A = this chain, B = another copy of it.
Amino acid sequence: MVLQKSVLAGDRLALARLLTEIENDSSAGRKALNALFKHTGKAYLIGVTGATGTGKSTLVSQLALHYRKTAPSRVAIVAVDPTSPFTGGAVLGDRIRMRELSGDAEVFIRSMATRGSLGGLAAATAGVVQALDAAGYELIFIETVGAGQSEVEIAKLAHTTLVVEAPGLGDDVQAIKAGILEIADILVLNKADRPGVEAAERALLGMLKLGHPVVRSLGHHGRTEKSGAAEADLAAKDEWIPPIRRTVATEGKGVAELAETIAAHRAHLEKTGGRQRRERARLQNELEALLQDRLVSGWRKKVGNKEYRHMLDKLLAREISPHQAVETLLDGNLRK
């Protein structure tokens, strides 16, 4: 019980130790999380995702610096890198970031690489965010490196989700993803001093029209010629239209304006009850991930290794199909 008390008292070393326990899914970590959970729910969570090369890490660092300067906010950054199942791929970006934010006792940075299953990573991320929340960090960035579905799943659990793009990545039609745009509350066009920024913004607008349910409902005039009137119309209906904000994170340009847009989205969520809805969705997600882990590990304990390997041999010999193997394994287990 000492660990969570030290965490609540603001002990950074205890917090770091707790986060490791949570990542390892140890019983000490679980106990501490159970005790700390009632202290959570105060932090504002900002998810940041986007393809590699868009400068996400730099942008998050700049936003963190901005919040530290303008408000006495305690800021945490959780950098999740699900593409590094083997080695600590997040370490490099981390070191660069450290130079800018190191020495600030009100900023806490944690990198997480994959441990085993994807479900495990999502559950560990949720636990880490809860611990930081309980420890009094008011703003928590959840930055996901890469742009696969796992990253999207993790980032979309935040209150405000930023999707970061950059010019020059877009000559491949797949560089801008309709699916990712749908989870964006705010689109950030970073590296906006680069050539191609106009084309990239046009492409983003085009994709928004195709892929975003709210923008699509505006029809063809939605965001370009008559966007003012249409946006006012939607604002009256309590709809949030994901705006596009340009930044040059390496020079800090556009960062203050981006922070204002985040504040506007936050105000919108508070007004419309959206924060509560997202909170519920996040907790439901977490519950389901934990249930899944527990069910599978419980089942694996019951089924003998020999039985399992035998089934695998039959599968390899094509004597039985994967579905038939599952039926047999589950039936056998039910009979016991």
With A114-B149, A291-B296, A316-B283 known as contacts, the answer to whether A174 contacts B322 (CB < 8 A) is: no
A295 in contact (CB, < 8 A): yes
Interchain CB contact under 8 A, A33 and B321: yes
Contact at B287–A312, with CB atoms within 8 Å? Answer: yes
- Cross-chain contact A93 with B148 (CB below 8 angstroms): no
- Which of B169, B294, B325 contacts A326 (CB under 8 A)? B294
Q: Which residues of A contact B (CB under 8 A)?
A: 30, 33-34, 37-38, 40-41, 51-55, 57, 81-87, 89, 92-93, 96, 113-114, 118, 121, 126, 145-153, 168-175, 177-180, 182, 210-211, 276, 279-280, 283-284, 286-288, 290-292, 294-296, 298-299, 311-312, 315-316, 318-326, 329-330
A290 to B325, CA, bound (A): 10
CA distance A280 to B309 in the complex (A): 11
Q: Which of B149, B178, B288 contacts A87 (CB 8 A)?
A: B178
List, sorted by A's number, 18 A–B pairs whose CB atoms are closer than 8 Å.
Answer: A30-B323, A38-B319, A40-B318, A52-B52, A53-B171, A83-B179, A85-B149, A86-B178, A86-B211, A87-B179, A87-B210, A146-B174, A148-B148, A148-B149, A286-B322, A287-B322, A287-B325, A295-B330
Enumerate chain B residues within 8 angstroms of A291, measured Cβ to Cβ: 296, 299, 326, 329-330
